[in-house]
Amino acid sequence: MKISFPYMGTVVIYKKLLELLGHEVIVPPRPSQKTIDLGVKHSPEFACFPFKVIMGSYIEACEMGADTIVTSGGHGPCRAGFYGEIHKRVLKNLGYDTEVIIIDSFNRNRKKVMENIMKLKGNNSWLKLSKAVKFTYDMIQEIDKFDKKIREIKPYEVKPGSVDRAWEKIQKEFDNAYSKRELKKAVKRSNEIINSLEISRIDERDRIRIGIVGEIYVVMESSINMEIEKVLGELGCEVERGHYLSEWVDFNLVPSFLKKSHEEEIIKKGEKYIEIIIGGHAKQTVGGIVDFKDRGFDGIIHLMPFACLPELVTQSIIPKISKEHDIPILSLSIDEQTGKANNLTRIEAFIDLIRNKKLNKYSA
Amino acid sequence: MKIGVPKALLNFYYGPFWETFFEELGMEVVLSEDTNKEIIDAGVRESVPEICVPIKIFIGHVLNLLEKDVDYVFIPRMVSINEGEIFCPKFMGLPDMIRHGLEGLEDKVLTCHIKSESDDISDYSNYLSIGNTLGISKEKIKKAAKVAGEHWKKFRNYNKNGYTALESYNLVYGKGKLKGRNNRKKGIKIGLLGYVYNVYDSFVNMDILNKLKELNVEFITFDMIDEDELRNNIDDMDKVLFWTFSNKLLGAGYKFFRDMEVDGVIHITAFGCGPDSFLGKLLEIESDETQIPFMTLRIDEHTGENHLQTRIEAFVDMLKRKKLKAI
Ligand code: SF4
Ligand code: SF4
């Protein structure tokens, strides 16, 4: 089996899990303009943007010889829950003989989920499977810690670009780790990499911290969100996202009696504005805004795919949250047609506004 | 007390229930006007630009009701009417969106969660929160829901007997008259797919129903088909859609295509509709397989300037020619 998967965020992780199970893994290329063009061409015109990018990415994977694609059926029920079904039909239409394995939420269809897990498990023992899962789980937790750290120090790098290069190196370290011991070593090495960076500290008052909330795919996948974290870093801002893979896993896959996920708390914080789970991550988005504010962040950027259903509900409510919590929020929607330049200008203006607001606060 | 009920979205399906319910509670029911240009313009002005047209129109209706000095605007939170399925996110977040997104509505939204196992939403427990807000006893709520439920069933029965929802609405209020027996015309017949708020809002869809009548075309809509039958038509799918009304349309669509009982299928969809992007794709595939012509009409907020009518005429012409050739 030559397995591939949808490209999102730190892909080292999915690769690792599948490799540990002895599969041959095809990592699709990081989404590029070509990926997007391919996806747009072969998707329904009004499908959501993540659908189109993933479509393109699947086609690229098939071209590279993938015969199987694994994906999740999507949780917070929205269109994403049906992505796989349509992707499957399009691939078939294009003549690719690729199997699409969709791992649905356990509650929806237990039998089917087990069937699919068995396919991935192959001849491995259950022990091996659970070890592999545990290992990857630990790894995500570690990688995410570094991911956060990197965004915290990026604005203060002395040598331009040094932090980005460090992040590349760190990901490689993890990519090379296949055992518990190696994972430990990767963590140690990564710490060393971080510590060797030259960082200039600034006054606490001058720190600007931005939270990024919104739809999970555009928040996590830097190749389609204009590398917003890097852009903000270069503008002198520390950045934290509302979505990390580790948190997604805690919330969606780890039973709640084992671990109370951070995401649950966040969802509570959004209750006032959106009462129930309406699909996608709308509730996490509103809760995330309140949470970032509570933790002293200076501004929020809300990212959504163009015409995203649940995030449009969020977007309608944002002016009020912004006012009630006194926090500036910039909402940007992204798709194949949105001009990058225009968005970048808006981001710059937004950061200027925050900086001025902060200056006024301290000078008054 | 004046309760405003927006004549938009699912009011074309559940209106007879909701209106009766509030009347039974002794409220004065105030309906918004039929969709018109002012309503659309106001809705567009107060909505986020990317949102779908039906929601913009709904917002216009809410504003229209505000002008009529109502005490509350009734905006139910439609959660589920079929196990394992839900509503489009915009329905589930509708009260939030109105309450927090529009000025002056914070305390005016009257809402309740609607959860049910079937299309029949008359279980009184859905409406207890309304009783709390308005200070009405459980007993009264129970009774009103029951009466409203019966009224609604009558409405649906007309509807399922081949009357449009608009005709059924009139019939159930004793207006309008029954049609003679429906002798199948030799003309053509179209499967007309679309959510009730797209098919029955004659202002936004350029009065497509009358246009079809003028052209002597018979049509059938999803709401004229029994719920179970709609469901049976999608039973063989690995995975159905998440949204109940989209599944109803899909069931109707599959039936139209597979039973070969129509000459063509028209899908009326609204600009910015998310679920329809997938639904449309599934219908397209089905049309390719069965060779029954399929056309998508997309309605947007700039009605009047678009060419819906001409496109319908052309489509119908084509179907007529096709039929002639076949004979
Ligand atoms: S949350 Fe947005 S992007 Fe995701 S499936 Fe729903 S509409 Fe599409
Ligand atoms: S189903 Fe489509 S048209 Fe209806 S509210 Fe949802 S997005 Fe809008």
Kindly report the CATH number assigned to the domain that includes residue B225.
Answer: 3.40.50.11900
Tens digits of residue pLDDT in B157-171: 999 999 999 999 999
- What is the whole-number distance in angstroms between the Cα of residue A103 and the centre of ligand 2? 27
- CATH 3.40.50, domain A2-124, yes or no: yes
CA distance B320 to B189: 10
Report the Cα A268 to chain-centroid distance in Å.
Answer: 21
- What is the whole-number distance in angstroms between the Cα of residue B54 and the centre of ligand 2? 7
User: B110 and B218 share a domain?
Assistant: no
pLDDT for the residue numbered A104: 73
Pair B240, B213: CB distance under 8 Å? no
Structure tokens given for B191: 């499967």
Are A274 and B93 a contacting pair at CB < 8 A?
A: yes
Contacts of A215 (CB under 8 A, 6+ apart): A50, A280, A281, A285, A303, A304, A305, A308, A310, A311
Ligand 2 atom nearest to B198, measured from its CA = 3
Pick the closest to residue B28 from B67, B59, B64, B72 (CA basis). Answer: B72
Pick the closest to residue B52 from B299, B307, B306 (CA basis). Answer: B299
Nearest-CA distance from A22 to chain B in Å? 29
CA atoms within 13 A on the CB side of B306: 18
Query: Domains in chain B: how many in total?
Result: 2
* Mean pLDDT score across all residues of chain A: 90
pLDDT for the residue numbered A263: 78
pLDDT for the residue numbered A74: 64
Are A315 and B92 a contacting pair at CB < 8 A?
A: no
Contacts of A283 (CB under 8 A, 6+ apart): A76, A267, A270, A271, A274, A276, A277
Substitution candidate for ligand 1 out of A46, A86, A309 with most atoms within 8 A of CB: A309
Structure tokens given for B205: 């869809």
Tell me if chain B has a CB within 8 Å of the CB of A45: yes
What is the side-by-side order of every strand in the sheet holding B294-299? B218-221, B189-193, B264-270, B294-299
Number of Cβ atoms within 10 Å of the Cβ of A246 = 22
What beta strand segments (E) does chain A contain? 2-4, 24-25, 68-72, 99-103, 209-214, 238-241, 299-305, 329-334
Confidence band of A255 (pLDDT split at 50, 70, 90): low
Q: Is the CB of B12 under 6 A from ligand 2?
A: no
Packing angle, helices B37-46 and B53-67, rounded to 10? 110
Tens digits of residue pLDDT in A117-142: 888 888 889 999 889 989 999 999 99
Pick the closest to residue B162 from B139, B137, B140, B183 (CA basis). Answer: B183
Pick the closest to residue B74 from B133, B145, B148 (CA basis). Answer: B133
| B173 part of a folded domain | no
Tell me if chain A has a CB within 8 Å of the CB of B79: yes
Pick the closest to residue B95 from B113, B80, B82, B81 (CA basis). Answer: B113
User: B10 and B156 share a domain?
Assistant: yes
- A312 vs B contacts (CB less than 8 Å): 48, 50-51, 90
pLDDT for the residue numbered B21: 98
Tell me if chain B has a CB within 8 Å of the CB of A89: yes
DSSP sequence for A27-40: PPPPP-HHHHHHHH
Measuring from each residue's beta carbon to the nearest atom of ligand 1, which residues come in under 6 Å? A 48, 50, 78-80, 215, 280, 305, 308-311; B 274
Q: Which residues pair with A25 in a beta bridge?
A: A3
Pick the closest to residue A149 from A217, A199, A184, A185 (CA basis). Answer: A199
CA distance A305 to A301: 13
Report the Cα A52 to chain-centroid distance in Å.
Answer: 16
| B166 part of a folded domain | no
User: B243 and B322 share a domain?
Assistant: yes
| B254 part of a folded domain | yes
Q: Is the pLDDT of residue B92 over 70?
A: yes
Pick the closest to residue A5 from A64, A79, A93 (CA basis). Answer: A64
Q: Which ligand is nearest to the CA of B88?
A: 2
Pick the closest to residue A173 from A161, A185, A156, A155 (CA basis). Answer: A185
CA distance A286 to A76: 15
Pair B99, A317: CB distance under 8 Å? no
User: B222 and B306 share a domain?
Assistant: yes
Contacts of A292 (CB under 8 A, 6+ apart): A211, A213, A240, A242, A300, A327
At B238, is the secondary structure helix, strand, or coil?
A: coil
CA distance B110 to B129: 9
- A47 vs B contacts (CB less than 8 Å): 277-278, 281
Last residue of a domain, one of B113, B128, B160: B160
Tens digits of residue pLDDT in A202-219: 888 889 999 999 999 999
Query: What fold is seen in the domain A204-363?
Result: Rossmann fold (3.40.50)
User: Across residues B236-260, what is the average pLDDT?
Assistant: 92
Helix (H) or strand (E) holding A154: none
pLDDT for the residue numbered A259: 65
Last residue of a domain, one of B160, B194, B219: B160
Q: Is the pLDDT of residue B81 over 90?
A: yes
Please give the residue range of the domain that contains residue B51.
2-160
Report the Cα A108 to chain-centroid distance in Å.
Answer: 24
- A319 vs B contacts (CB less than 8 Å): 101
User: How much is the pTM?
Assistant: 0.91
Dihedral over alpha carbons A261, A104, A107, B95 (to 10 degrees)? 70
CA distance A178 to A346: 43
Pair B79, B114: CB distance under 8 Å? yes
Q: Which residues pair with A301 in a beta bridge?
A: A212, A330
Pair B173, B167: CB distance under 8 Å? no
User: B89 and B203 share a domain?
Assistant: no
Percent of chain B with pLDDT over 90: 81
Helix (H) or strand (E) holding B199: helix B196-199
pLDDT for the residue numbered A293: 96
The residue extents of the domains of chain A are 2-124, 126-201, 204-363
* Residue whose token pair is 């179907």: B319
Pair B3, B29: CB distance under 8 Å? yes
User: B27 and B138 share a domain?
Assistant: yes
CA distance B237 to A355: 54
| B129 part of a folded domain | yes
Q: Is the pLDDT of residue B304 over 90?
A: no
Ligand 2 atom nearest to B246, measured from its CA = 1
User: B98 and B231 share a domain?
Assistant: no
At A93, is the secondary structure helix, strand, or coil?
A: helix
Q: Is the pLDDT of residue B200 over 60?
A: yes
Ligand 1 atom nearest to B89, measured from its CA = 6
Pair B116, B81: CB distance under 8 Å? yes
Are B97 and A307 a contacting pair at CB < 8 A?
A: no
| Residue at A55: amino acid letter | M
Tell me if chain B has a CB within 8 Å of the CB of A279: yes
Residue numbers of A between 115 and 174 with CB closer than 8 Å to B = none
| B177 part of a folded domain | no
| B192 part of a folded domain | yes
pLDDT for the residue numbered A108: 61
Confidence band of A359 (pLDDT split at 50, 70, 90): confident
Q: Is the pLDDT of residue B98 over 90?
A: yes
- B241 vs A contacts (CB less than 8 Å): 82
User: B57 and B133 share a domain?
Assistant: yes
- What is the whole-number distance in angstroms between the Cα of residue A218 and the centre of ligand 1? 10
- What is the whole-number distance in angstroms between the Cα of residue A310 and the centre of ligand 1? 7
User: B120 and B206 share a domain?
Assistant: no
Tell me if chain A has a CB within 8 Å of the CB of B51: yes
**Please, what's the largest Cα pairwise distance for chain B?**
66
| B194 part of a folded domain | yes
Backbone angles phi and psi of A6, in degrees to 5 = -70, 140
Are B50 and A307 a contacting pair at CB < 8 A?
A: yes
Percent of chain A with pLDDT over 70: 95
Confidence band of A98 (pLDDT split at 50, 70, 90): very high
CA distance B154 to B171: 9
Pick the closest to residue A13 from A133, A180, A152, A103 (CA basis). Answer: A133
User: B131 and B51 share a domain?
Assistant: yes
Q: Which ligand is nearest to the CA of A51?
A: 1
| B240 part of a folded domain | yes
Q: Is the pLDDT of residue B122 over 70?
A: yes
Burial of A283 (0-12, 13-18, 19+ CB in 10 A): buried
Last residue of a domain, one of B110, B145, B160: B160
Contacts of B183 (CB under 8 A, 6+ apart): none
Tell me if chain B has a CB within 8 Å of the CB of A280: yes
Contacts of B204 (CB under 8 A, 6+ apart): B35, B40, B53, B57, B198, B270, B299, B303
Q: What is the 8-class DSSP label of residue A155?
A: G
pLDDT for the residue numbered A363: 73
User: B140 and B212 share a domain?
Assistant: no
- Closest Cα to atom 1 of ligand 1: A280
CATH number at residue B42: 3.40.50
Tens digits of residue pLDDT in A11-64: 888 888 899 989 999 999 999 999 999 999 999 988 999 999 999 999 999 999
pLDDT for the residue numbered B302: 79
At B219, is the secondary structure helix, strand, or coil?
A: strand
CA atoms within 13 A on the CB side of B286: 24
Helices and strands per DSSP (H, E), number in chain A: 15, 8
User: B203 and B111 share a domain?
Assistant: no
Among chain B residues, the shortest Cα distance to A320 is held by: B100
The residue ranking higher by pLDDT, A312 or A102, is: A312
Q: What is the 8-class DSSP label of residue B188?
A: -
Q: Which residues pair with A302 in a beta bridge?
A: A213, A331
- What is the whole-number distance in angstroms between the Cα of residue A49 and the centre of ligand 2? 17
pLDDT for the residue numbered B303: 61
Residue numbers of B between 88 and 147 with CB closer than 8 Å to A = 88-90, 92-93, 95-97, 100-101, 113
Tens digits of residue pLDDT in B19-63: 999 999 999 999 999 999 999 999 999 999 999 999 999 999 999
